[in-house]
Each structure stands twice: as C-alpha cells, then as structure tokens.
Structure 1
C-alpha cells in the first residue's frame, strides 16, 4: 500500500470514529457534571506516576542494554460512564507491571479522556492511583476538549453547545491534572529530548479547526527552539495527536493543520521520531504504521478502542500500544497487545541512528 492511500484511509478512519462518537462511546456520564467553577477544585491529590515519580516497572535487569525504554500509549478515552476503556487501561498497566523489560516512562499522545470532564479525569485518577508507575506525560487530543458537547445532565448535546463550558476550561483541566503551565511540554529522559505538542484550540474558540490540531506561533517557535537546543545526535521524540497530511500540504480536520511549518522545523534535525494516534487503527491491519520522511513517523493504535479498516471496533478485549527502546546506535519500536500480553509481529521496526 502506498503512502497516499494510507493517509486517505487514516483520515477516513478518524472521521468515522469521531462522527459516530455519541453512539460508539455511549455518553452515559452517571451523574450530572460539575459546573466550571466546581471543576477548579475537583482534582485533589494526584496519582502515582503523573510527572516526577521515578519508579521503574517491568524488569529493570532485562539485559537488553537499552539506554532508555518507554511506552507510547494513545487514545485511552477513559470515560466515567463506560467501563471498557478504563478496564483496557488497567489491563495495559497490569501487563507493564509484569513486563519482560524495563519501563522508565509512559507517554500518552492525546485523548486521555472521552470528553474532558471532571468525572472523566476522576476516573483516570482512580485507575492511576491503583498503580505505582514511572513518570507519565501526556499531550491533549481533540476528545480532551469535548466537555463543550456534554450538558449538565451528563448527556451528549450538540444542540446546546458549548453547554456553559469553554475550550480554555478544557486546557486548564488538562494542565492542572498533568501539572503543566502550558498544554505542550518538554521532558528529558536519560538525555533524550521528548516534546509533547498539544492542539491549542477547539471549535468553541476556532470553529474552523473542527477536529484538526491547531498549533500557535508560540508553540511552533518553542518546538523550533527546543530542537535547536540539542547539542548531540541523540534521538528526539515528538509526540502529536492527529496525523500529518500528505507532504507539501497543510492539514484540516482530523490532521495537523500547520503541517508545512511543522515539517520544515523538523527537517534540519537528524534522528527525530514522531508518534501520532487519533485513528485507532489496528497495528495488524496491513497499513503503513511506520513512514520514513526526513524524520521517522510512527502511527499508533489505541488503548481504549481499536478500530478495524471499516472503522468499527476490532473486537472486544484488545488494547494496543508501542514500546520504544533506545540504544547507542538504533531505536527499536515494537507493537504490544496488552490484554493478550503479546508482541504484534507485524509492528516491529529497527531504525539505525545517523
């Protein structure tokens, strides 16, 4: 399959996943949501793993020789009214605790929650508190802005949007939960730079973005500066949510909007690895989940709900992610099926560093 076909199908998958969201995810938030004022004080103590917890899990003596090992998860869609996404996340963490190799961080590339409400975040915190995890970092996906679609009765209500909510309140909730000053952030993991980019507006502020990822001048300048700061050729990891459009084009709904500038910023830098999610595509579906440009782009699956090529749930009891190992001369990326606790043979790549 060529790259153009892959991109078209990926965009279609994302579209179908979102436009059917109300039915697919069954918006049943079990109690009326809090008001925007109440949400500011709704977080309480933060769980293990959210920035700063330094415990390694898995097997710290795995003998692989990797300088750094971490998981990239996407599209958790933790939902206070639907059990399956949260159950899948628990099974992913259960697999990690008994993992054959060490895990030094967990990176989440957007759609942490189903609708970004305080109750969704409370459900996420409840799960996290049951596990002692290494540092967990995240960026925002489009669903983390979805509180504007949820009315005070806890039901999906596009007709009454923004239902007393704002895009700003969605960003504030996300930043407070992950202890951030801005929705995008940087972390150094064993000398490797990780940059987590977040869309900075949704349809309440910028109706034209629809489900696309809009990055401000400030965020793009920050990305350029952080990559220029590198003093070595160690790999850098850039986390986005929506995928990129075709080379030479800017994106729109369901893709990265200012894609030309994004690619231009990355172009001068060797050993850059980009991870995206959003389309929930099964890592065994025969599509190109690794694309080589001037950087290395990996298109992740989903923990909360994996979709098949017809954009329908693949099957029950499946949750997928990517395991990354950094060596002196290469980066290894492998697909993991968490519930079956098995490697996905179709998703295994070794990229030599230059």
Structure 2
C-alpha cells in the first residue's frame, strides 16, 4: 500500500536499552511514579513480543489439522532493489520450516511495488523455488500491482499471465473447504469492488454454505472492510455496505485482508461481529496509526516482516501469528470455534474493558543527559495490560501556573522486538529554566486509560548566553 510519505514524522533516536539500577540512577533524576526507594533490581528489561513458543504449533489434543495454509500480503517486490525480495525468500524458507505440509499458500495482494514484469519475475522465481510440492497457490491482485502505466485490463492480464491465476476473482475448493479470492478492480489506493463482483461473491457464498454450513468459508481481498480490523480506516468506501452485508449472512466466514501494513501484534488485527475479519500485515514495511510522535512510519519500519499460518480442524480454526523478522511467534494463536455462532464470538470490540496499569515498582524519571533548555527527556517503566499497551499520553504542566505546556501521544513501541523497557521519550518546545510537572497515562489497544499515572518533576536547563 502506498501512502503519502509527507505525513511521516521523523522519530528521534530515543530508544534506550535495558540497564541496571546504578546506570539508571546515574543517568536520571529519580522521581515519583511509585514508591521511591523500592529496589529496581531486575525491574528494567526488554518485554518479549513473542508470547508463544514454537511448541505452540502442536495442537494440544495431538490431532492433526485437516488443512494448513500460510497467508501473507504486501510483499512489494521492487524493480531495482532486492531488499523486499530477500525478505520474501526468508519468509518462504521460514514458513516451510514451521509449516512443512502446506495445502495452500495465499498472498493477499501487492505482490509487486509497481506491477512491472521484472518484479513479477523476481516474485515467481523465488516462490517457485520454495513452493512445496502439491501446494495450491492463490494470489489476489492489489492496488500496487496496477501501477505500471498499463490500462486496467492490461495490468490485470499481466497479473494473470505472470502468476498463473485463472481470474482476478475465483473460487476453489480444497479438501471440502471453500476459498474465495477477490480482486480489487483498479489501482485506486482504497480499492474498488464492483456490484458485479460482490454479486458473484454472494453466489459463491451460497454454494459454499449449501455444501456444508458448519465449515468455515475463507474469503481473501486486498483492501480491508472499513470498520473491522486494526487499520481498516484505509479500506474502501465504494460499495462498502453492500460488501459487508453480503458477508454478514455467513458467520462462518473468515475474511483476510492486507493493504494496511499494520502489525499483527495489536489484538485488533482480528475482529468479530457478524463474521471474522483478520489483517495480514506485510513483508515490506510497517505502517501505523497517525497522531503519535514516532510517526506513521517509525524508525526501523522496514524491518517488519510477518505472516499468518492457518490450521483448520473439524471444530475450529487456529490462526497463528509469525514474526518472520524475529523468527518466532507473536501472541497467542487466535482460535475460532465451529460451527460458527455470533453469540460465541470472543474477538469483539467489547472484548477488553480492563485498563492498563503501572506496577508499584514503576518509575518515571528525567534523563538529565538528554535534557536541554527547550526539552525534557523522560524515562519510565512500561505499563502492563491483559492484551497490549498501545500508547502513552504525556503531559507537561508548568509547575508554577499549572498550565499544560505540551501534550502528545506516543506509541509504547509495541511493534519492536524486543519492546524497549524502560521507554525514553522527549518532550520538546518547552521554556528554558522552567519547572514542569510531567504526567504519563497508559492506554491499551482498545482505548482504556490507566487510573493512576506516573508523575515526575523536571526542569529545563537555562538558556545559554551568546556573546557577540
């Protein structure tokens, strides 16, 4: 997915690595945020973003799945650079190790960066070398795959010729399970799904449901449906409601979408209401929600490389999240029970009402080495949450007047492996030689705010006198 890079904010190199008590005290001014004087031994460490070990690939009951298939998207193979190609090869190699018996392999759009022949050739050459024998390939076309200067029809023809797909949208049945692959119909960033294609989708869903209403139906489309998964604000408006209402009749549907480049680590990457939706992240570069000081494309964004592995059993579907860049799993697998029942959906928008919290040992301090006449640098222990601490709301109040001088949101940097703890942030645009009361509130992925913030008192340095 291509977004306007002019909105990107440059992130300062503020990440600090774990340190012992002595180093921490030497670098900072200790302040309130919890009980001062409590031991800091072992309180600062890196939070592992990988909550599940490789052993989680084994089903607890020991039963083998009926069907296994990886799902990836947004590879963005480039004409002149091989960086994303190299990441793609690593992805294929790693997925072959953790899923050695794949029935299908699905790519949900943006195979290429510009839809050039050379990009398709790179993609297919790498894929064919690693493809497992007997695995069925299913590729969807994305908006980037149209960006080659060709007419829409010719861009689609190139996609079909190069990938061997039978059509822009098609329906396959594997081991009794239905796969419906849709295709955005032009190069518009938000995506285009015509009434004609949605009508075709409706007919295919009827066929799949008549075949066996108790089984999942897998649907794939590059752009997400607005109002569903994390990042779906980048989804399509045209015919959105018609598309959604078509799927709404079938709670057994699992809809996979790419396009956003939003990471799998956020629990909102899966969404259940009338059916199940899930985002597929990216193999190219990270993109995040706007409004945080790190920017939508934070420092190190091109490291991200993630994939899903889907295991289908007779009474459930497990969706496992893989950090390719970290060679490990991230989070617990999503488990969807069948036959599907909306009343039993657990990945709903109302799933999390518990706010995050700072432990009693958590501390907020001022980093004197990074403090200037116009900025304070703060360092604090990360908060905890039952799912994910997503943001921090930071406020700097003039200690004398109580007026809020600066306020902003910052990511917890949950997208990093490992997640930095303590986290260091810089508060800029302050007055020289002025004392400020700093408050830090933690917010989780669902917007719940901690009840008790961390607090500290800090003072900017005096302005330097410049003699002429």
Q: Report if TM-score (shorter chain) is over 0.5.
A: yes
Query: Aligned in 2, Cα 1:287/1:19: closer, same or farther, shift over 3 Å?
Result: farther
Q: How does 1:56-71 map to 2 (within 5 A)?
A: 64-71=63-70
Could you tell me which of 185, 188, 202 is aligned with 1:200?
185
* Residues 300 and 322, structure 1, Cα contact 8 Å, conserved in 2: yes
2:104 is the alignment partner of 1:119: no
Size of the aligned set, in residue pairs, is 274
Could you tell me which of 195, 206, 222 is aligned with 1:217?
195
Q: Distance in 1 between matches of 2:270 and 2:127?
A: 30
1:181 Cα deviation after fit: 4.1
2:310 is the alignment partner of 1:324: yes
3-state SS of the aligned residue for 2:317? strand
3-state SS of the aligned residue for 2:126? helix
2:212 is the alignment partner of 1:234: no
3-state SS of the aligned residue for 1:324? strand
3-state SS of the aligned residue for 1:282? coil
Query: Aligned in 2, Cα 1:218/1:308: closer, same or farther, shift over 3 Å?
Result: closer
Give TM-score scaled by structure 2 length.
0.55
3-state SS of the aligned residue for 2:318? strand
1:308 Cα deviation after fit: 4.4
1:235 Cα deviation after fit: 0.5
Name the structure 1 match of 2:279: 299
* Residues 212 and 252, structure 1, Cα contact 8 Å, conserved in 2: no
Q: In terms of mean alpha carbon deviation, does 328-337 or 238-247 score higher?
A: 238-247
Q: Distance in 2 between matches of 1:218 and 1:182?
A: 14
Name the structure 2 match of 1:93: 92
Q: Distance in 1 between matches of 2:160 and 2:243?
A: 23
Query: Aligned in 2, Cα 1:74/1:132: closer, same or farther, shift over 3 Å?
Result: closer
1:306 Cα deviation after fit: 2.8
Name the structure 1 match of 2:53: none
Could you tell me which of 162, 182, 191 is aligned with 1:177?
162
1:177 Cα deviation after fit: 2.1
Which is higher, the Rg of structure 1 or of structure 2? Answer: 2
Name the structure 1 match of 2:79: 80
Q: Distance in 1 between matches of 2:186 and 2:116?
A: 16
1:136 Cα deviation after fit: 1.6
Query: Aligned in 2, Cα 1:307/1:252: closer, same or farther, shift over 3 Å?
Result: closer
* Residues 322 and 330, structure 2, Cα contact 8 Å, conserved in 1: yes
- Provide Cα deviations, 1:252-299, integer angstroms capped at 9, x if missing partner: 974253111111211222310001111111222x35101102110001
Name the structure 2 match of 1:282: 263
3-state SS of the aligned residue for 1:130? helix
Could you tell me which of 325, 329, 332 is aligned with 1:343?
329
Q: Distance in 2 between matches of 1:104 and 1:224?
A: 25
- Provide Cα deviations, 1:5-48, integer angstroms capped at 9, x if missing partner: xxxxxxxxx6xx42239x9xxxxxxxxxxxxxxxxxxxxxxxxx
1:180 Cα deviation after fit: 3.4
Q: How does 1:30-179 map to 2 (within 5 A)?
A: 64-99=63-98, 102-133=101-132, 134-148=135-149, 165-179=150-164
Higher share of residues assigned helix = 1
Higher share of residues assigned strand = 2
- The unaligned stretches of length 5 or more in structure 2 are 9-57, 290-294, 340-468
Q: Distance in 2 between matches of 1:100 and 1:241?
A: 23
Q: Distance in 2 between matches of 1:244 and 1:336?
A: 23
Q: Distance in 1 between matches of 2:195 and 2:315?
A: 34
1:339 Cα deviation after fit: 3.3
Give TM-score scaled by structure 1 length.
0.71
Q: Distance in 2 between matches of 1:297 and 1:180?
A: 24
RMSD between aligned residues: 2.5
